[in-house]
Amino acid sequence: MKVLANDGISQSGIDILKDAGFEVLTVHVAQEQLQNYINEHKIEVLLVRSATKVRKDIIDSCPSLKIIGRGGVGMDNIDVEYARENGIEVINTPAASSESVAELVFAHLFGGVRFLHDSNRNMPLEGDTRFKELKKSYGAGRELRGKTLGIIGFGRIGRQVAKIALGCGMKVIASDHEVGEADITLTFYDGQTITLKIKTAPIDKLIKHSDFISLHVPSQSGYLIGKEEISKMKDNVGIVNAARGGVLDENALLEAIEDGKVSFAALDVFENEPTPSIKVLMHDKISLTPHIGAATEEAQDRIGVELANQIISILVK
């Protein structure tokens, strides 16, 4: 049985699949050539991340496919229901990358309140000639401790964000359409644990009371956070989007930053990905990463292992 990991898979995942008798191909096939490659090599399992799209045309034209796997959480690059209606299993790894995304959120938060994203741009250029001016410019940072973090979307990733926030001494308010209450368990070095119950609140309340807001929702049909929502936020709010491009109105965000309503923003995902707006990319109050929330060695290892075990459980009898 052949597996095409078109966007890559960890060595651990490859080893598990090979031990179970699968042939694993890790060549990256261009989107326009993917259909022919699957048919030519009689691929039964297609594994993708966010780069490769698996739409109706591939599903209709590749009868050998038995499983489509997404390494990660969101599956908006796959026609999931259509595939399942045509007898193809669709799997993903919703829990494997939660910690990695949550840590990236806080990398952006810590960088944002201390201007690290902008300082790292300017110090190499002007650190030797304008050291005192830069010190004064970047010397008005804020602490996260004691501030309120609003988490919109309280699934696996949102809960991991809450754990880090609580560990940093922040107050947490969360909002979710489906989750009413969630247990957040903090684990310590000596094995002790503390479990806290966090009840979710209406999004209007969250927006009004949060010093910082982090988005953790799936793709939406429209903006979840736009001009109206931003206008209700606290002055000097910081906004992080490591969820999906299109849930945050980037034009409204830019306007709010220019007006001083938003102190900084951090984006790991973009409306026009993979060609983000130049205005967004060049803004000195926006911290930027190229959709790397799940891209840690540990997360990719967990993703590979989880995908491999799911494939084996489906196909090996």
Task: With beta carbons less than 8 A apart as the criterion, state whether 276 and 268 touch.
Answer: no
From 89, 103, 255, 273, active-site residue:
273
Tokens describing residue 153:
């979307």
Catalytic residue among 216, 244, 283, 302: 244
Token pair of 280 as six digits: 């967004």
Q: Is 244 an active-site residue?
A: yes
| Cα 19 versus chain centre, distance | 31
Q: Which of 37, 81, 38, 32 is nearest to 52 (CA)?
A: 32
Q: Which of 49, 117, 216, 291 is catalytic?
A: 291
Q: Which two tokens stand for residue 315?
A: 């196909």
What lies within 8 Å, CB to CB, of 260 at 6+ separation is 235, 236
- Give the integer Cα–Cα distance in Å for 314 and 312: 5
Spell 263-285 as b/e; 16+ CB within 10 A means b. bbbbbbbbbeeeebeeebeebeb
Sign of CA dihedral 281, 282, 286, 288: positive
**Percentages helix, strand, coil for the chain, rounded to the nearest 5?**
40, 20, 40
User: Beta-carbon neighbour count of residue 156 at 10 Å?
Assistant: 18
273 in catalytic set: yes
- What is the b/e burial string over 173-208, where b = at least 16 CB atoms within 10 angstroms of the residue's CB? bbbbeebeebebeeeeeeeeeeeeebebeebeebbe
Phi and psi for 301 in degrees, rounded to 5?
A: -65, -45
Sign of the Cα torsion 164, 167, 169, 174 reads positive
Mutual orientation of helices 297-315 and 98-113 as an angle, nearest 10°? Answer: 160
* Active site positions, annotated: 244, 273, 291
